[in-house]
Amino acid sequence: MRTLGLWKRFWSILDERLGLEALRYEVPEHGNTLAYTLGGITLFGFVILILTGIILTQFYHPHPAEANGSVRAIMTEVPLGSFIRSVHFWTAHAVVVSVVLHATRVFITAAYKRPREFNWLVGVALLAITIGFFFTGTVLKWDQESFEALEHNIEISNFLGVFGYFFSPGFAASVPLLTRLYSVHVSLLPLLLAFLLLAHVFYIRYFGISPLPWRTKAGTEWPEGPKQPFSNHAKKIAAYGMVVLAIVAVLAFAFPAPLGPEPIEGIEVTKPPWPFLWLFAIENIFGIQWLFPASLTPFLVLVVLPFVDRGDERDPRRRKAFVTLFLLGLAVLFALTLLAALTASRGHLGG
Amino acid sequence: MTDPIAKGTPSRCLPLLCLGALLGTVAFPVVAGHEGATSGSFGMGEFVMAPLEGKQGVTVDGKVTSGEYGPYGRWMDEDTGFTGNFAHDNDSLFVALSNPKPGWVALGFSSDLDVGMEFIVVGESGGRLQAVERVVSNLSGDLAFAAPPASDASPLETFNESGTGKNITVELRLSLRSSLWSLEPGNITPAIVAFNDTSLALPTNTAGSELHYLRFYPLRAQDDPGEVKRLFAMDTSPVPALVAMALLATGVAFFLRAFLWRRDGKESRVR
CA A44 to each of CA A21, A94, B243: distance values in angstroms, whole numbers, following the listed order: 22, 11, 21
Of B33, B234, B240, the CB nearest to A274: B240
Of A214, A269, A347, the CB nearest to B234: A269
Of chain B, the percentage scoring pLDDT greater than 90 comes to 29
* Whether B231 and A109 lie within 8 Å, measured CB to CB: no
Please state, rounded to an integer, the average pLDDT across all residues of chain A: 88
What is the phi-psi region of residue B148: left when phi exceeds 0, alpha when psi lies from -120 to 50, beta otherwise?
Answer: beta
Q: What number is the average pLDDT over the span B139-160?
A: 83
C-alpha span between B247 and A97 (Å, rounded): 8
pLDDT in tens, A254-271: 989 988 878 877 677 788
Query: What band does B18 get if pLDDT is binned at 50, 70 and 90?
Result: low
**Residue of A30, A97, A264, A277 to mutate when probing chain B, most B C-beta within 10 A:** A264
- Closest Cα in chain B, distance from residue A144 (Å): 8
C-alpha span between A299 and A322 (Å, rounded): 16
- A:B CB pairs within 8 Å: 153
* Whether A104 and B245 lie within 8 Å, measured CB to CB: no
C-alpha span between A272 and A250 (Å, rounded): 24
pLDDT in tens, A196-249: 999 999 999 999 888 888 754 555 555 556 788 888 888 899 999 999 999 999
Is residue A206 packed enough to be buried (19+ CB in 10 Å), middle (13-18) or exposed (0-12)? exposed
Contacts of A269 in chain B (CB under 8 A): 47, 231-232, 234
pLDDT in tens, A149-181: 998 888 888 888 888 888 888 888 899 999 999
pLDDT, residue A221, reads 56
* Whether A274 and B224 lie within 8 Å, measured CB to CB: no
Q: What number is the average pLDDT over the span B210-235?
A: 83
pLDDT at B8 over 50: no
Residues whose CB falls within 8 Å of the CB of residue B163, separated by 6 or more in sequence, listed in order: B102, B129, B169
pLDDT, residue B269, reads 47
- Residues forming beta bridges with residue B75, ordered by sequence position: B84
Of B11, B186, B251, the CB nearest to A265: B186
φ, ψ of residue A283 to 5 degrees: the values are: -60, -45
C-alpha span between A28 and A10 (Å, rounded): 28
Of B17, B29, B238, the CB nearest to A281: B29
* Whether B260 and A105 lie within 8 Å, measured CB to CB: no
* Whether B270 and A269 lie within 8 Å, measured CB to CB: no
pLDDT at B142 over 60: yes
pLDDT at B237 over 80: no
Contacts of A326 in chain B (CB under 8 A): none
pLDDT in tens, A116-140: 999 999 999 999 999 999 999 999 9
Sheet holding B168-175, edge to edge: B74-76, B83-88, B92-99, B168-175, B156-163
As a whole number of Å, the end-to-end CA separation of chain A is: 75
Of B22, B33, B255, the CB nearest to A335: B22
pLDDT, residue A269, reads 75
pLDDT in tens, B67-86: 888 888 999 998 999 999 99
CA A100 to each of CA A67, A238, B185: distance values in angstroms, whole numbers, following the listed order: 30, 19, 44
In 3D, which of B213, B234, B217 has the Cα closest to residue B48? Answer: B217
Residues whose CB falls within 8 Å of the CB of residue A127, separated by 6 or more in sequence, listed in order: A99, A100, A103, A299, A302
Q: What number is the average pLDDT over the span B29-50?
A: 55
Query: What band does B235 get if pLDDT is binned at 50, 70 and 90?
Result: low
Query: What band does B258 get if pLDDT is binned at 50, 70 and 90?
Result: confident
- Closest Cα in chain A, distance from residue B150 (Å): 31
- Closest Cα in chain A, distance from residue B14 (Å): 7
In 3D, which of B158, B175, B174, B164 has the Cα closest to residue B61? Answer: B158
Query: What band does A284 get if pLDDT is binned at 50, 70 and 90?
Result: confident
- Closest Cα in chain B, distance from residue A211 (Å): 12
pLDDT, residue B138, reads 80
pLDDT in tens, A48-95: 999 999 999 999 999 999 999 999 999 999 999 999 999 999 999 999
Could you tell me how far CA A208 lies from the centroid of its own chain?
22
Contacts of A277 in chain B (CB under 8 A): 241
* Whether B42 and A269 lie within 8 Å, measured CB to CB: no
Contacts of B1 in chain A (CB under 8 A): 214
Q: What number is the average pLDDT over the span A295-322?
A: 89
pLDDT, residue A46, reads 97
Of B44, B47, B245, the CB nearest to A334: B245
Of chain B, the percentage scoring pLDDT greater than 70 comes to 76
Nearest chain A residue (CA) to B244: A97
Contacts of B236 in chain A (CB under 8 A): 145, 270-271, 345
Q: Which of A97-106, A267-276, B11-20, B55-64 has the lowest mean pLDDT?
A: B11-20
Of B22, B231, B255, the CB nearest to A269: B231
As a whole number of Å, the end-to-end CA separation of chain B is: 21
For residue A314, the SS3 value is coil
In 3D, which of A333, A107, A282 has the Cα closest to residue B21? Answer: A333
* Whether B244 and A268 lie within 8 Å, measured CB to CB: no
Query: Which of B163 and A38 is assigned the larger pLDDT?
Result: A38
